[in-house]
């Protein structure tokens, strides 16, 4: 059985850890509230915009757009969204695992397909920098420090240009979709080529077909609204991932705090047992010495 000093040291260590996890939980809860409000308030706009485009594109009329051209896939870009920090459960590992699974899927289709990775988040960037799977072409870890629609629109525009000019035949985004505080779902979302912008946020209802009168022409309107919708889709993915990160970290730190609390109780019980055993031994020794002196 451990001595009193060892148990006291363990109690102090666990208590210190519990204070840290509790503080991290509160910090993540505060950041989560802001991130959750941002993603929830942005979803109605994104859903309405995508619904309008789906209605326009769903009437079997060909839209001459550089973003809906299906091509033979030779070059693919995976945009992987992770976090810069750990201690958030399976948040990062799930995204990395899904990205690896997608890379292997492409290699199974054709071993000559080139799969590039653009990583946003230090955890995925460090992994793909060492991994033999996929080709890490760029890492933008600093973007999470200050998310803004303007910055992400610039990146989204670069992705659209790379697709339009034939640099990539397909672009996909892999990220964590925010469902609630305790649940984050790994998503693999097609960014380009554009067939439909419908996603999990849109209500899957059979609504009557809406007809539109276009002024100016349908093509002119779509040439402006499609890039705007793609920018919104790209931004929404980052908002989802950001909220999911803090939700996962808050849940993880909450569990860690609960475990530390229970461990602290067990250690204090163990400490009392060791202390009681030491006192009992001292009493026995004193009694034995007293008996020896009497004899």
Catalytic residues: 88
Contact call for residues 255 and 41 (beta carbons, < 8 A): no
- DSSP class of residue 113 equals -
Contact call for residues 245 and 176 (beta carbons, < 8 A): yes
| Other CB atoms within 10 A of residue 58 CB | 12
State whether the Cα torsion 28-33-34-35 is positive or negative: positive
Q: What's the CA gap between 273 and 208, in Å, rounded?
A: 73
Q: What's the CA gap between 62 and 59, in Å, rounded?
A: 9
| Other CB atoms within 10 A of residue 113 CB | 17
């Amino acid at each position: 059985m451990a001595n009193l000093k060892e148990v006291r040291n363990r109690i102090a260590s666990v208590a210190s850890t519990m204070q840290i996890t509790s503080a991290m939980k509160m910090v993540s809860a505060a950041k989560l509230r802001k991130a959750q409000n941002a993603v929830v308030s942005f979803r109605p706009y994104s859903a309405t915009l995508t619904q309008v485009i789906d209605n326009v594109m769903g009437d079997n009329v060909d839209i001459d757009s550089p973003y809906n051209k299906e091509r033979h896939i030779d070059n693919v870009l995976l945009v992987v969204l992770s976090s810069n920090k750990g201690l958030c459960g399976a948040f990062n590992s799930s995204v990395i695992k899904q990205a690896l699974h997608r890379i292997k899927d492409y290699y199974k289709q054709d071993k000559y397909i080139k799969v590039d990775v653009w990583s946003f988040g230090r955890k995925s960037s460090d992994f793909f920098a060492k991994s033999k799977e996929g080709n890490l072409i760029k890492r933008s870890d600093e973007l999470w420090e200050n998310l803004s629609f303007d910055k992400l629109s610039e990146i989204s525009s670069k992705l659209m240009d790379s697709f339009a000019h034939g640099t990539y035949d397909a672009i996909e985004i892999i990220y964590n979709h925010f469902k609630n505080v305790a649940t984050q779902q790994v998503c693999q979302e097609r960014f380009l080529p554009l067939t439909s912008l419908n996603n999990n946020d849109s209500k899957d209802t059979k609504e009557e077909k809406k007809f539109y009168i276009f002024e100016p022409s349908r093509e002119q309107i779509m040439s402006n609204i499609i890039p705007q919708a793609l920018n919104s889709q790209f931004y929404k993915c980052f908002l989802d991932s950001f909220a999911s990160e803090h939700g996962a970290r808050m849940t993880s730190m909450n569990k860690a705090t609960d475990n530390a609390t229970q461990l602290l109780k067990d250690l204090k019980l163990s400490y009392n047992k060791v202390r009681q055993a030491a006192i009992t031994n001292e009493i026995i020794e004193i009694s034995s010495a007293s008996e020896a002196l009497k004899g």
